[in-house]
Structure 1
Amino acid sequence: MRVIVVGAGEVGTHIADSLDQDHEVVVVDRDERRVDSITYKHDVMAIEGDGTSGRTLDEAGIDEADLVVASTDDDATNIVVCGAAKTTDDPFTIARVKKTDLLRTWERSEGAFGVDVMVSTDLHTAETIVDIVNLPGARDVDSFANGLVRMAEFEISPDSPVAGKTVAEADRFESLTFAALIRDDDVVVPTGETVIEAGDELVVIGSVESTREFAGTLSPLPTLEEADEIVIVGGSEIGYQTARLFEEHGLESRLVERDPERARELAEQLPKTLVLESDATDIDFLVREHVGESDIVIAALDSDEKNLLVSLLAKRIGVERTLGIVEYGEYVDLFETVGIDVAVNPRWVTAEEITRFTREQRTENLAIIEHDRAEVLEFEVDAESLLVDTPIREAIAELPDGVVVGAITRDGELITPRGETRVQRGDHVVVFAETPVIDVVAAAL
């Protein structure tokens, strides 16, 4: 497949990186430094030029392209790129946008603007925040099989009840699979005798109930339904969308916005949210409004530094859990080390969502683990699958190391896989696999 990616920022680079092993990828960007950087780091063709220009698209081979991804930081540019691609030929087009209004306009008229799929950075980031908040202690959460299966990632602290235990000792849950441990730079596929160590990132796959029960053993923090107080700092589009989604869940959060005009606008749009006009970096305000009694503070201001400051202040006055928006990916690990419990990077969220559409059509869903060290994928099993009518233990033995079948759904019911479980044609399987073997796994399953 020939793929043209317009925009060589974090999103475009991530997408190119996920495709360059098995597809012909061309990346277009106006910035010479970005073009040089991506050429040096990845096995792709990189072109310096304007992706809205027919001449540049011709140079990129638009007449042979199967997919065009417009991933610049400018909404209008991305839409124009898709429109220009459609006038030249008829590739499948994906546009990244920030403004949710553009997404709503596109949804009302499928195929508008020459865009086949539109991905809204702000909305998907807000949805990610709500999913993480709903599972106490989780660093990442994703749903599969129409919501029957959940994947979650947890950091194991030194005082965690599972630290120092074997997987067999820790796995006391009816429908849960301990899929992997991320330990330093290694991915460990555990056996029953594998010891879970403090500092590990543990990836589990299972039913919603078992995943939530396991999360409850790791953290005393309340779930979304149990939360008494949620504070959102910042009336950005992400902050607004997060509050709106909380309202849809029947929750009344508080939102702090410094700008008077924006605060009034938000108060009109969010009838079930208490909007406070103030500066949330003022610790006297935080104390006066009893923010320290909150279950979680979500920092959604317009800069990474402000979000870090708010998180540190919230921690100082007693908030148990903080979640912050971090725009620059290189800051994520640093900010989680010094003050934010969970850092959400909108660009990574968007790249993951777009990557879902670049996989083979047999892949129903996908989640990227630890910045593309591994992936969790959902497949519908067909007659050619290695899994059909074969015990899982035997089928997995035919695959490269680093593969785990985490869950199976059949006729709307969840089946917890064990070594002797046999998968049937038409089942949906949720599989954990290390990134280097993803394509081999996809072809076999």
Structure 2
Amino acid sequence: MYVLIIGAGEVGRSIAANLEKSHDVAVVERDPELAEEITYSFDVLSLQGDGTELETLQEAGLEKANLVIACTESDHTNIVICGTAKTASDAFTIARVRRRTLLNTWEGAQSAFGVDFIVCTDLLVAQTIFRISGFPQAQDVEMFAGGLVRMAEFEISPESPLVDQRVMDADEYDSMTFAGVFRDDEMIVAKGDTVFQAGDRIVVIGSPSSVKEFAMATVTDTTSSTNDVVIVGGSEIGFQTAREFEAHGFEPRLIERDHDRAREIAEALPKTFVMESDATDTEFLSREHIDEADIVVAALDSDEKNLLVSLLARRVGVDRTVAVIDNTEYTDLFETVGIDVAINPREETAEEIVRFTRTDQTEKIAMLEHDRAEVIEVELGPESALTGHQIAESMADLPECVVIGAISRDGELITPRGTTVPQAGDRVVLFVDATVLDEVSAVL
């Protein structure tokens, strides 16, 4: 596949890094320094120029492009790029936007703007925050097989009963599979004799009920829940997050300092209790019983402010904190100092876009630990190495760093075991080391 990426910011670079080994990739960037950096950093064609101009796109290979990805920092620029590309090619076009109103307009008019698919960054982040909030202490949560399967990543605390326990001893859940373990900079495929250690980040795949039961029993105390939600910041992400919680029956609290913005949000979200105040005011936090919140989401307009708010929330006794960060280099820092989950909007956007470059049978992907591993959902065809063979036998054709986490067949969940025989049409959810993803995809 020939992929044309316009915009070499964090999203564009992340996509290029993910695709450079498996696809022909060209990147167009207006900034000469960024364009030069791409040339030396990735095995892709880099072109300095304006992606809204047809001549620039054609110079970058528009006529042979299968996919055009517009991911600059400007919503309108991305819309124009896709429209321009459509005038001279049949390439599938993807536009990254932040404003949900553009997404709503596109959804209401088929093929509006000449865009085949829109990725709304703020909405993606809000949905991710909501998913994570439903699983105690989860670092990451994704749905697969139409919601039938959950993938979750948890960190093991020193107090967890999993510490020093083997996978075979902990594997007591009928519809859940231990997939992988991240330990410092090492990725370990979960096997029966793998021993869990404090600080490990473990990945499990299974039914929503089993994953939640596992989390409640081994990762956190059984009293943990998410009922009282506090969102700090009336940014677009903060607004969309409150709206997402409202849509699922919650009545979140939202703190916004600006009077006009606070009033605007209060009028738009009738089930959200909007408080006009400075979230760094400890007296206010105490007076409004913020310490009783089950989760505090920091969605202000800077990483530094989100870090400060999250630390203050932890100091007053909040159980769980989620912070939105723009700088990916801060992710590890945030989690090191005690922030439970740090979410980067650009990483969420890149992950959503990359799935369009997968093979036709790949339904969905989730990137873990900055793409050190991926969880993918694949529909098996008659020629797949897994079809018609017991898993214990067919796994010999796959690299060792692959785990089959779940199988969906005709809307029913099947927990894979060595004697399980996958069939054509099954949707299989696999945990895969990112370095062997292309090799795995070739035999699936």
Q: Do they superpose with TM above 0.5?
A: yes
Q: Which residue does 2:329 correspond to in 1? A: 330
2:404 is equivalent to residue 405 of structure 1: yes
2:442 is equivalent to residue 443 of structure 1: yes
Q: Which residue does 1:209 correspond to in 2? A: 209
Task: After superposition, give the CA deviation of every residue in 1:413-438 in whole Å (9 maximum; x if it has no partner).
Answer: 10000111100111111011111111
The normalised TM-score by structure 1 is 0.98
Question: Sequence identity, in percent?
Answer: 58
Superposition deviation, residue 26 in structure 1: 0.3
Which residue type is aligned with residue 52 of structure 2? T
Q: Which residue does 2:287 correspond to in 1? A: 288
SS across alignment from 2:180: strand
Q: Which residue does 1:373 correspond to in 2? A: 372
Which residue type is aligned with residue 312 of structure 2? L
Superposition deviation, residue 33 in structure 1: 2.1
Distance 2:251 2:190 in 1: 41
Which residue type is aligned with residue 62 of structure 2? I
Which residue type is aligned with residue 126 of structure 2? A
2:260 is equivalent to residue 298 of structure 1: no
Equivalence map 1:14-163=2 (5 Å): 14-163=14-163
The gaps in structure 1 that reach 5 residues or longer are none
Superposition deviation, residue 64 in structure 1: 0.9
Task: After superposition, give the CA deviation of every residue in 1:260-290 in whole Å (9 maximum; x if it has no partner).
Answer: 0011111111111100011111111111111
Superposition deviation, residue 352 in structure 1: 0.6
Count of aligned positions: 443
Superposition deviation, residue 399 in structure 1: 1.1
Asked if the contact 2:363/2:379 (under 8 Å) is kept, the reply is: yes
Equivalence map 1:244-255=2 (5 Å): 244-255=243-254
Superposition deviation, residue 222 in structure 1: 5.9
Task: After superposition, give the CA deviation of every residue in 1:47-82 in whole Å (9 maximum; x if it has no partner).
Answer: 111111112111101111111000111101100110
Distance 2:100 2:257 in 1: 22
Superposition deviation, residue 319 in structure 1: 0.6
SS across alignment from 1:102: helix
Which residue type is aligned with residue 219 of structure 1? T
Which residue type is aligned with residue 240 of structure 1? F
Q: CA RMSD in A?
A: 1.1
Asked if the contact 2:16/2:44 (under 8 Å) is kept, the reply is: yes
Q: Which residue does 1:219 correspond to in 2? A: 220
Distance 2:187 2:315 in 1: 34
Superposition deviation, residue 184 in structure 1: 2.1
Superposition deviation, residue 36 in structure 1: 2.1
SS across alignment from 1:165: coil
Asked if the contact 1:136/1:221 (under 8 Å) is kept, the reply is: no
Which residue type is aligned with residue 237 of structure 1? E
Q: Which residue does 1:392 correspond to in 2? A: 391
Task: After superposition, give the CA deviation of every residue in 1:97-133 in whole Å (9 maximum; x if it has no partner).
Answer: 0000000000001211110000000000000000001
Superposition deviation, residue 38 in structure 1: 1.9
Task: After superposition, give the CA deviation of every residue in 1:214-272 in whole Å (9 maximum; x if it has no partner).
Answer: 1112112766xx43311100011111111111111111110000010011111111111
Task: After superposition, give the CA deviation of every residue in 1:341-367 in whole Å (9 maximum; x if it has no partner).
Answer: 100100001111111111111101111
Q: Which residue does 1:2 correspond to in 2? A: 2
The normalised TM-score by structure 2 is 0.98
Q: Which residue does 1:189 correspond to in 2? A: 189
Asked if the contact 1:221/1:295 (under 8 Å) is kept, the reply is: no
Distance 1:200 1:123 in 2: 30
Asked if the contact 1:233/1:297 (under 8 Å) is kept, the reply is: yes
